[in-house]
Structure 1
């Protein structure tokens, strides 16, 4: 074969291959026909970014952030020196152990997500490490700028589960689904055919009624109380009684819980419940605040059973009996009212039903199965009935605001992504009237007595007239089914300031283990710290001279 003939054949073959390559390029990359697989445009559905959760003042509590995540290709790791080599390269950016990496590599999978993430702006630095067998991918994570602040309330937003506010407002926070057509270029990179703005598909922003600073105050006080008392848990609620807005809902607990304790923790309230018995008695005309009542020197037999007081008292006025927290006086007062009226009154104040707060997992509390005369007597001073912290705080707020039971509010407003469509700010929602003006005035005076000279003196806040009530309740021993002699719930609920209430603060200390367990010495001082700091932060004017409510007659 001559050289010229060989050259001609070679040129012809090359030309043929070039024609084939050009045609493949046209079909698969430049202009693939409809229906062609491979690099043909494909339509996918993508969800827009999730909205942000703010506090009442626009401070970010939860937000989404794009992160760069790492994943492992076990086969490439094996081909590039194995786990030992990988560990030496990755240890500078990961705390993962060598054994953990080996366990994951042993699966031989080509895609193994690693629990290693970096902010999107650090991609270049991570890529420069050039670690064989390790790839990068974009992830979106919920981040919490305030750390653990209000985490129980805010909840989580996982792939398979949501809790707290993330669940309650999931419909508003979730991004909208958008159809996007994408195709690949010759390098296999995915390219959208049309540009679209993420804000169009972004979920709405939710503004909670929580105030970040008051939440910090409450959580710090809860942590200090846990440390000082060795308690199993502490719950603190701060509410605006005028409109029902929750300003803080703090929980500290030795054993973590998936529940939101302020709305799901059911406990016997003890003496903090007495105010509602007195409310009904005043409304029914069954008592007068200056009438005398014999407290049986601390022991009273009723229906073949005994009721006791922690202090032996003889004859007291009705107001004194409340200030010194006499169970016997409260039981005697309840005997003047029919069982049906007491049961109805308890429900009217919101007990035995959900409060209406827009959070998941709220409990109704526990009402007695049978309202016999003895049970009714014990319920009158908070034994034999189960309530939640939010129910008790909200019921005290009804006394603070002039007798109106409101739905407690956790959401302030919801704002759409474009900033123009706004869900109207939630207003005050009245459930019912629970006490008239005359009754409210009498109840406020008695709450003031508790702080002035009764069991609540440790709740005093300098410069403010305070009203409130202590509570100490035995817990049920699960093993015996009887009341424990070792475990108690100490509580205090109060109003600031008494003459023009702006705050209702509830404190519950579960099973204090150091020192005593009385609500007067365990919970009342915590109330004083929270109420004093919150009032100062909110710049609530001090009580004017002479504003103190009427002293005992």
Structure 2
């Protein structure tokens, strides 16, 4: 009996405990649901909801003449929520009724897969109830506009499940044009360059926020829960697209034709310091040229003879010499403390002005050594006053552009330092440093700070304007300035001036200085076989009332046929200055000649010419035999078609395309097996590979358009 009672007691106790535990569970569930319910709902949402950043629309970078140099265009990512209520209602009738036609439209628009493939993928995603299915990424606005009118999509987000996620893509509409200076806006802002980097905080605007819900392995936006971003501001640069285009083309033509390694051309507005154009080209491993580094601002090198202007200024300012002082060049060769300095051409006794015009290394090394050997700090102080040892202050970052001017306290200072510095060695400066000096001479002694940005603009109104800034009010006395200008004019005007042959024959006067610096190939030293030449010309025009100052510095290669400053950089300078003068400075107006007295020559396909002449009712005669291509001459309202040179010969012969439009030229070249790159606009002005020569299939040819 006692055993039975003991067992029952234990059963009752267990039963009571189970009832108590159940009551606790029910009570706790009631408490969580009705009393702590709001807290746990918020907690659950916090695990599935997240605010994610929405990038602002990045500001546009404009040229001074109003053209877009870098801008953002909208691109769209397309997702589908196959769990959308409107899409699945009535057992998915809306989806099933539209999937066939939608698949056909998608295949036609994107042309990346068949309609059957699109249908199969969407049916599978529908079956799996994918909540954030990626249909297509990075579609253009034109494609997006068409997509909105497709079956199912046009019924709206709730019924179709289609989610459009817009974002921006950065482009440079002019491609190569000032590409390195403008820079590229990348996803990782630390890798930006140029203006895109320096003005990133202004351009990028203020980031917004979007509430995203985590569903089925991905986040999808919660409609209406957005904090709109604040768009970035626009940048108005000092660049002029015409000058920039001219500078790029002239530099490219010389570098391709002369097989140069890299080069830069910078155009500065004399009175203000505005950079109106800056072209930078470097040779790539495949033989083409691209803006791979800002050589004008970011690369300091030994300047060579263009540095003689700084030496001359020092000597004149200290009253050691005048332009009429005589200096014995000793036949163009002299030993300085065991090291030899020589001239390109033998010179005897010259005036200082003549020595500068003839670019005598011996003369300037002798004068600097004579007057500054025992007082080198005096010479260095002049260079410091000219800011040749100070960063330029231009408003973009150029990490490698720091100058190096030796001081007597440097460990590498030697007896030979002064004579070598005097003619452009044992110091490192950027082309922009030297341009600032030459511009100061052109600007009556006032050194201006170079700058690339005119204004910051928001919604069409300037909110910040950058004004010209004077760095040095007077680089030298008025007397010295007059003599400097005389010497710079003599380089071009004097029969014995190093720039006379290339630059003298102009409709306007040019003043400047040539430079040919010996540089080491791949840092292997200056031994014969390893040395290459850096060609420079820096000057201003028109000489009497300078409007623009320009620096052209080109690093040649061992294969370059032209090496001297005048032949290489002087030629580029002349082409750019001619175009700028004709467009902006010349008072003479171009008069179109009468069509009846002038012969015009064009190139194109035979059938196209026939169509044109028939439409114009212009009589013509086809004197060619066979082939599709014709050269056309028109005179006195009569046209004659001829067989162009090298267009119907063997397949391994390079055709002549000068005078053709780009479409025809590319068609003809690529049919031959050549790879074509082109620069400029209009008709073909020149081609990098000569017509009539042989080539290998896949070889690159560059076409220059005018």
Note if 1:230 corresponds to 2:262: no
CA pair 72-539 structure 1, distance change in 2 beyond 3 A: farther
Q: 1:524 maps to which residue?
A: 570
Matched, 1:67 2:75: yes
Q: How many residues align?
A: 477
Seen in structure 2, the aligned counterparts of structure 1 residues 115 and 146 have a Cα distance that, compared at 3 Å, is farther
Identify the residue that residue 395 of structure 2 maps to in structure 1. Answer: 358
- Which residue in the other structure is 1:142 paired with? 170
Q: Which moved more, 1:398-407 or 1:258-267?
A: 258-267
How many Å apart are 1:318 and its aligned residue? Answer: 1.1
Q: 1:69 to 1:224 in 2, by over 3 A?
A: farther
Worse overlay, 383-392 or 254-263: 254-263
**Which structure 2 residues correspond to residues 244-393 of structure 1 after superposition, within 5 A?**
244-255=273-284, 259-335=293-369, 336-337=371-372, 338-362=375-399, 363-368=401-406, 369=410, 370-393=412-435
Tell me, in whole angstroms, the C-alpha distance in 2 between the residues paired with 1:113 and 1:534. Answer: 52
1:492-507 aligned at under 5 Å gives the runs: 492-507=537-552
1:119 alignment partner, one of 120, 132, 140: 140
Q: How far is 1:205 from its partner?
A: 0.7
What corresponds to 2:534 in structure 1? 489
Task: Report the structure number with the largest CA radius of gyration.
Answer: 2
2:481 maps to what in 1? 440
- Indicate how the Cα distance of structure 1 residues 270 and 443 shifts in structure 2: closer, same or farther if over 3 A, else same: same
Tell me whether 1:191 sits opposite 2:230 in the alignment.
no
Residues of 2 paired with 1:115 and 1:403: CA distance? 61
Shift of 1:435: 1.5
Secondary structure of the residue that 1:523 maps to in structure 2? helix
Deviation, 1:424, is 2.5
Cα distance, 1:420 vs. partner?
4.6
The residue correspondences of 1:4-83 to structure 2 (distance < 5 A) are 37=45, 45-69=53-77
- CA distance in 1 between partners of 2:257 and 2:45 (Å): 69
In structure 2, relative to structure 1, the CA distance for the partners of 1:194 and 1:482 (3 Å cut) is: closer
CA spacing shift, 1:509–1:194, aligned 2, 3 Å: closer
Q: Which residue of 2 aligns with 1:163?
A: 193
**Given the alignment of the two structures, is residue 537 of structure 1 paired with residue 583 of structure 2, yes or no?**
yes
Question: How high is the TM-score relative to the length of structure 2?
Answer: 0.62
Distance in 1, matches of 2:131 and 2:80, equals 7
Q: Deviations over 1:290-340 (max 9, x none)?
A: 122111001112212221111111111111111111011101111223311
1:21 maps to none
Q: CA RMSD in A?
A: 3.5
Contact 2:179 2:291 in 1 (8 A): no
Gaps of 5+ in 1: 1-32, 74-84, 96-108, 543-553
Cα pair 2:55 2:207 within 8 Å, conserved: yes
CA–CA distance in structure 2, aligned partners of residues 361 and 119 of structure 1: 34
Equivalent residue for 1:514, pick from 553, 560, 563: 560
Q: Deviations over 1:258-297 (max 9, x none)?
A: 5422111222111111011011111111111112211100
Q: Residue 499 of structure 2 aligns with which residue? A: 456
The offset of 1:430, in angstroms, is: 2.3
Q: Which residue of 1 aligns with 2:621?
A: none
Q: 1:194 deviation in Å?
A: 7.6
Q: Distance in 2 between matches of 1:316 and 1:240?
A: 34
Residue by residue over 1:76-116, the C-alpha shift from the partner in whole angstroms, topping out at 9 and shown as x without a partner, is xxxxxxxxx9xx96996469xxxxxxxxxxxxx99998996
2: CA distance, partners of 1:126 / 1:378: 69
Q: Which runs of 5+ in 2 are unaligned?
A: 1-40, 82-102, 114-129, 153-161, 215-219, 285-289, 589-706
1:397 to 407, 414, 439: 439
CA contact (8 A) 2:282 2:292 kept: no
**1:484/1:349 CA distance change after superposition, 3 Å:** farther
CA distance in 2, matches of 1:407, 1:483: 38
Question: Contact 1:51–1:206 at 8 Å: present in 2 too?
Answer: yes
Distance 1:447-1:213 versus aligned 2 partners, 3 A rule: same
